[in-house]
């Protein structure tokens, strides 16, 4: 698998270069790749059909349990075949659809990258490996939706899709971590092998909720469905591939994978049935009111995804079967319809169903493909969609929970599908009118062949399900139902069952709905105020609010005023210190200090009084010279303190440095600005408060430290070795020039650099013509 993925990456990143070499014939190698992988995956067919699965392990971060581990079983293989076959057709189609676009190479880059990620995702066994590929699909989806980067709508839709699915991705990662913590397993294989459910674990509920968040955002379930219709801003091949056939099914895939692990829990079934049901109904309902072909298809896709989630929620074997069969049928007919819609859009320049009619004579193959797909979607007899619909009804009727609700929803959406199918085939292509829509150009073979092939497969699978799809579907069902092998009887004719009767009823009601569609659509306007309150509005509010908040926060924290930065630093530091001192350290016993104060020697008090009064004087003085003198006084006092506490070297240095500072200061005095008062009185008080706060925190810290002196081992070490090994009696000096000599060298370098800087600044003359 790794080889395949690497090959995909290579092809992806060479696509722009190939485009420069081959022009639009770049489609040939790009389409050969997915078909090649398709054949490669087919080579695993016999092994998977024997009921075994293939595991391939490449170590990546074994210490963290993150490995590139791939698992190819029935479900993975089904998805893998779907992805590659579809991918190949889309590559061809894209060459026709975007043939004049100079960015075709880039388009293939994104698309191939997406395909690689999708393939990696459905074959991943390791949870984190899956997460990685999951995120790549989100990112490539973002790039593909925003492919038309000059279009504001496309850009904002891409953002929206990325934010929503990205948020879900984060939730998913958290969920995986929790699952891992609770069960200790990193791979699906381990998870499935565990017999005991971890439903009793305290992490079970959060892991489940987060998993739902991840899958629902990806698969556009209510209330996160809003990004999918907006994602239709992408070029049609992308909509067909990502947002109908593959990527949005990633959520379904993961839920299906996880269902053996979670299915025992009540929360699993009820949540999925309720959310899936809501989504199915909402999608169907919204699909009816749109006149844009892609919008209609998007909403029916949402509805179909809801159906699948609902079936997963039911969890019975027949429901799982129905889910997978419907998934395949849906991918086939929805892909076809998208591609046909794209062809119509490309040739006529519009996607509005009210302006399109009688196209069958002008684009016969597209019309045929769309009709085949529509018949499959409506669930007519010899088509694969029919089998899917029968199974859905069977599963709904045998549901253990909410049986009438589940069946009612399935039935209602079925009716809507029929109506939509009629709109998108009969209404556009076969409706006899005097003035059929004019074509801007006829569709090329690249535009009509891929949908035709897909549409044809819908019939072929329907006519011969036993040879074509039953074995792989059986194994796929097996891999999501704890390994039990289930017999899958797919046939068109089961005799006169009640499902057959219901199918017929669905079609009749659907046709009636089509007749009444104009009337229904005219009534939709009443609902507009309701949509304004929908989740999309919430998204926009949150998004805008976030931006405003971020801007405000930045303006408050980082407004470019350096003093404010210092204030925040000090306040934050003080708060941290305060917390630590209050929370973690023993408090000072002030009582014991009183004795020490009484025993203070006289000269100490003199220095203290001298320095502190000097400092207070410094605060008030307006003379620069006085300031310098007072500052020198403070420095010399510090030197005195060093002497008193056994640090003559430090004191000597301090004397020297202080003198030098004063000298430099005085030399430059006449070139330095004179005093004036600049700050407002009010601000001054703020500053005073902050300064006192900082000083107090520092004093308190020092007092605490004094209570807990530690004897350092270094002191003893340097004491022992100073004379004997380094041959020096002054330990401080020995440390500086011997033990830590390199540090001192660094220090000298710093000084030298500073001296150079000073020299440059003093000597540098403004260039002529410039202001001084």
For the segment 550-589, give every residue that binds other proteins (CB under 8 A): 560-563, 566-567, 570
Residues 6+ apart with CB under 8 A from 697: 573, 574, 577, 578, 581
Residue 726 in contact with residue 736, Cβ under 8 Å?
A: no
Binding to other proteins (CB under 8 A): which residues in 391-410? none
With the C-alpha atoms ordered 128, 130, 136, 141, is the resulting torsion angle positive or negative? negative
- CA distances 433 to 16, 146, 357, Å, are 45, 37, 7
Query: According to CB under 8 A, which residues from 260 to 279 bind other proteins?
Result: none
Q: Which of 512, 553, 730, 745 binds other proteins (CB under 8 A)?
A: 730
Residue 101 exposed, middle or buried by CB count within 10 Å (0-12, 13-18, 19+): middle
CA distance 332 to 491: 18
Using the minimum distance from each CB to other proteins, give the nearer residue, 505 or 600. Answer: 600
Options 582, 612, 685, 745; binder of other proteins; rule CB under 8 A: 612
Choose, by CB under 8 A, the member of 483, 501, 545, 719 that binds other proteins.
719
Q: Is 234 helix (H, G, I), strand (E, B) or coil?
A: coil
CB of 623 to other proteins, least distance (A): 11
Q: Which of residues 619-678 bind other proteins (CB under 8 A)?
A: 619, 624, 627, 631, 634-635, 638, 641-642, 644-650, 653-654, 657, 660-661, 664-665, 668, 671-676, 678
The rounded distance, in Å, linking the Cα atoms of 93 and 449 is 8
Q: Specify the 3-state DSSP secondary structure of 56.
A: strand
Q: Residue from 193, 548, 615, 745 that binds other proteins (CB under 8 A)?
A: 615
Inter-axis angle of helices 317-348 and 249-262, nearest 10: 170
User: Is 489 within 8 Å of 390 (Cβ atoms)?
Assistant: no
Q: Figure out which of the listed residues 554, 608, 626, 685 binds other proteins, where binding follows CB under 8 A.
A: 608
Q: Which of 6, 32, 548, 755 binds other proteins (CB under 8 A)?
A: 755
Looking at residues 127 to 186 of the shown chain, list those that interact with other proteins (rule: CB under 8 A).
none
Residue with Cβ nearer other proteins (200 or 673): 673
Which residue lies nearer to other proteins by CB, 550 or 644?
Answer: 644
- Rounded to 10°, the helix 104-123/27-42 angle is 10
- Its sign, for the CA torsion 292, 293, 296, 298, is negative
Q: How far is the CB of 704 from other proteins (least distance, A)?
A: 9
The reply to whether omega before 223 is within 30° of 0 (cis) is yes
Integer Cα distance of 578 and 693 in angstroms: 10
The nearer residue to other proteins, 52 or 679, going by C-beta atoms, is 679
* Tokens read off for 706: 């004094």
Least separation in angstroms between residue 655's CB and other proteins is 10
DSSP state of 441: S
Nearer of residues 554 and 730 to other proteins, judged by Cβ: 730
Stretch that binds other proteins, among 81-89, 123-131, 447-455, 721-729 (CB under 8 A): 721-729
Of 556 and 748, nearer to other proteins (C-beta) is 748
Give the nearest distance from C-beta 682 to other proteins in angstroms: 13
The answer to whether 34 and 4 have CB atoms below 8 angstroms apart is: no
Within 38-77, which residues bind other proteins (CB under 8 A)? none
Residue number, 63 or 596, with CB nearest to other proteins: 596
Give the separation between CA 81 and CA 44, rounded to whole angstroms.
Answer: 11
CB atoms within 10 A of CB 564: 13
Binding-site member from 491, 504, 557, 692 for other proteins (CB under 8 A):
692
- Residue entry with tokens 């797919």: 490
Please report whether residue 702 would count as binding other proteins according to CB under 8 A. yes
Nearer to other proteins, 32 or 575 (CB): 575
Q: Which two tokens stand for residue 687?
A: 């500053």
Q: Which two tokens stand for residue 752?
A: 């030298």
Nearest partner of 30 among 79, 120, 83, 94, judged by Cα: 94
> Tokens for 384?
């694969």
* Closer Cβ to other proteins, 526 or 762, answer by number: 762
In angstroms, what is the minimal distance from the CB of 726 to other proteins?
11
Three-state secondary-structure class, residue 126? strand
Among 710, 767, 768, 769, binds other proteins (CB under 8 A): 710
Residue with smaller CB distance to other proteins, 194 or 558:
558
Nearer to other proteins, 435 or 670 (CB): 670
If the CB atoms of residues 400 and 603 are measured against other proteins, the closer one turns out to be: 603
742 binds other proteins (CB under 8 A): no
Task: Report CA-CA distances (Å) from 595 to 211, 589, 599, 600, 604.
Answer: 65, 12, 7, 9, 15
Query: Min. distance of Cβ 767 from other proteins in angstroms?
Result: 12
- Check residue 681 for interaction with other proteins (CB under 8 A): no
Residues in the chain: 772
In the bound complex, what is the minimum distance in angstroms from residue 749's beta carbon to other proteins? 10
User: In the set 600, 625, 741, 745, which binds other proteins (CB under 8 A)?
Assistant: 600
Judged by CB under 8 A, which of 28, 482, 743, 745 binds other proteins?
743
Region from 155-163, 167-175, 192-200, 612-620 binding other proteins, contact rule CB under 8 A: 612-620
- Binding residues for other proteins, rule CB under 8 A, total 101
521 binds other proteins (CB under 8 A): no
Out of 43, 195, 196, 709, the residue judged to bind other proteins by CB under 8 A: 709
Least separation in angstroms between residue 596's CB and other proteins is 5
Question: Using the rule CB under 8 A, which residue among 491, 508, 556, 605 binds other proteins?
Answer: 605
Residues 361-390 that bind other proteins (CB under 8 A): none
Among 527, 538, 625, 754, binds other proteins (CB under 8 A): 754
User: Which residues contact residue 715 at a Cβ distance below 8 angstroms, ignoring those fewer than 6 apart?
Assistant: none
Strand residues in 38-143 grouped as ranges (E)? 54-61, 66-72
Site for other proteins in 529-548 (CB under 8 A): none
Cα separation, 623 vs 617, in Å, equals 11
The token pair that represents 336 in the structure block:
């076809």
Residue among 195 and 561 whose Cβ is closer to other proteins: 561
Q: How far is the CB of 643 from other proteins (least distance, A)?
A: 10
Which range touches other proteins (CB under 8 A), out of 344-352, 361-369, 506-514, 688-696?
A: 688-696
Question: Alpha helix locations (H) across 379-495?
Answer: 384-397, 403-425, 445-463, 465-468, 470-479
**Interacting positions 329-358 with other proteins (CB under 8 A):** none
Q: Return phi, psi of residue 615, to 5°.
A: -65, -45
Distance (Å, rounded) from C-alpha 693 to C-alpha 689?
Answer: 6
Mapped onto helix, strand or coil, the DSSP state of residue 198 is coil
Q: Which of residues 546 and 687 has its CB atom nearest to other proteins in the complex?
A: 687
Q: 186 with 126: CB under 8 angstroms?
A: yes
């Amino acid at each position: 698998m790794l080889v395949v993925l690497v090959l995909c990456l290579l092809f992806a990143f060479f696509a722009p270069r190939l485009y420069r070499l081959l022009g639009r014939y770049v489609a040939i190698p790009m389409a050969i790749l997915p078909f090649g992988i398709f054949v490669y995956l087919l080579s695993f067919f016999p092994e998977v059909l024997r009921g075994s699965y293939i595991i391939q392990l490449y170590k990546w971060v074994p210490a963290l349990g993150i490995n590139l581990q791939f698992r190819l079983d029935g479900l993975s293989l089904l998805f893998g075949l779907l992805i590659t076959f579809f991918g190949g057709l889309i590559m061809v189609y894209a060459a026709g659809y975007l043939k004049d676009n100079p960015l075709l190479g880039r388009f293939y880059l994104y698309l191939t990258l997406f395909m690689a990620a999708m393939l990696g995702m459905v074959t991943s066994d390791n949870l984190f490996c899956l997460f990685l590929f999951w995120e790549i699909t989100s990112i490539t989806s973002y790039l593909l939706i925003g492919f038309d980067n000059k279009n504001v709508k496309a850009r904002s839709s891409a953002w929206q899709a990325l934010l929503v699915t990205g948020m879900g991705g984060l939730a998913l990662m958290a969920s995986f971590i929790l699952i891992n913590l609770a069960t200790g397993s990193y791979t699906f294989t381990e998870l499935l092998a565990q017999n005991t459910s971890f439903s009793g674990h305290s992490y079970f509920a959060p892991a489940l909720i987060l998993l739902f968040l991840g899958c629902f955002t990806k698969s556009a379930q209510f209330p996160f469905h809003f990004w999918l219709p907006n994602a239709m801003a992408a070029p049609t091949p992308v909509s067909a591939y990502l947002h109908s056939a593959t990527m949005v099914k990633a959520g379904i895939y993961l839920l299906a994978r996880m269902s053996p692990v979670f299915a025992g829990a009540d929360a699993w079934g009820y949540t999925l049935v309720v959310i899936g049901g809501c989504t199915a109904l909402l999608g169907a309902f919204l699909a009816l009111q749109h006149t844009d072909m892609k919008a209609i298809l998007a909403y029916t896709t949402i509805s179909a995804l809801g159906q699948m989630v609902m079936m997963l929620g039911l969890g019975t074997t027949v429901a799982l079967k129905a889910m997978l069969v419907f998934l395949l049928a849906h991918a086939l007919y929805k892909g076809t319809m998208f591609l046909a819609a794209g062809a119509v859009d490309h040739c006529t320049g519009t996607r509005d169903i009210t302006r399109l009619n009688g196209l069958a004579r002008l684009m016969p193959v597209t019309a045929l493909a769309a009709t085949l797909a529509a018949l499959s979607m409506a669930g007519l007899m010899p088509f694969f969609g029919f089998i899917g619909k029968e199974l859905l009804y069977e599963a709904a009727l045998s549901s253990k929970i909410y049986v009438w609700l589940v069946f009612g929803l399935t039935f209602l959406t079925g009716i809507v599908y029929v109506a939509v199918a009629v709109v998108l085939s009969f209404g556009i292509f076969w409706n006899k009118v005097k003035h059929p829509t004019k074509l801007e150009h006829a569709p090329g073979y690249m535009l009509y062949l891929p949908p035709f092939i897909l549409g044809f497969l819908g019939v072929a699978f329907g006519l011969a399900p036993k040879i074509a799809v039953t074995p792989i579907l059986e194994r796929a069902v097996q891999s999501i139902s704890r390994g039990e092998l289930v017999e899958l009887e797919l046939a068109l004719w089961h005799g006169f069952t009640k499902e057959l009767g219901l199918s017929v009823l669905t079609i009749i009601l659907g046709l009636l709905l089509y007749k009444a569609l104009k009337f229904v659509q005219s009534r939709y306007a009443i609902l507009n105020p309701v949509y304004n309150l929908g989740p999309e509005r919430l998204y926009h509010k949150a998004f805008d609010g976030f931006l405003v908040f971020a801007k405000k926060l930045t303006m408050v924290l980082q407004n470019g005023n350096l003093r404010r930065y210092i204030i925040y630093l000090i306040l934050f530091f003080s708060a941290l210190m305060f917390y630590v001192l209050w929370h973690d350290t023993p408090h000072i016993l002030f009582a014991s200090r009183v004795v020490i104060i009484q025993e203070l020697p006289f000269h100490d008090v003199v220095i203290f009084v001298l320095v502190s009064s000097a400092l207070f004087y410094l605060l008030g003085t307006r003379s620069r010279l006085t300031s310098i003198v007072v500052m020198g006084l403070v420095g010399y006092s510090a030197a005195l303190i060093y002497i008193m506490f056994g640090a003559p070297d430090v004191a000597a240095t301090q004397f020297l440095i202080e003198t030098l500072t004063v000298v430099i200061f005085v030399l430059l005095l006449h070139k330095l600005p004179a005093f004036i008062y600049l700050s407002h009185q009010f601000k001054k008080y703020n500053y005073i408060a902050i300064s006192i706060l900082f000083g107090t925190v520092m004093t308190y810290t020092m007092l605490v430290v004094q209570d807990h002196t530690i004897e350092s081992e270094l002191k003893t070490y340097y004491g022992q070795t100073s004379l004997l090994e380094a041959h020096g009696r002054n330990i401080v000096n020995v440390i500086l020039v011997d033990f830590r000599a390199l540090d001192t060298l660094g220090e000298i370098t710093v000084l030298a650099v500073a001296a150079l800087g000073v020299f440059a600044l003093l000597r540098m003359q403004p260039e002529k013509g410039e202001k001084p």
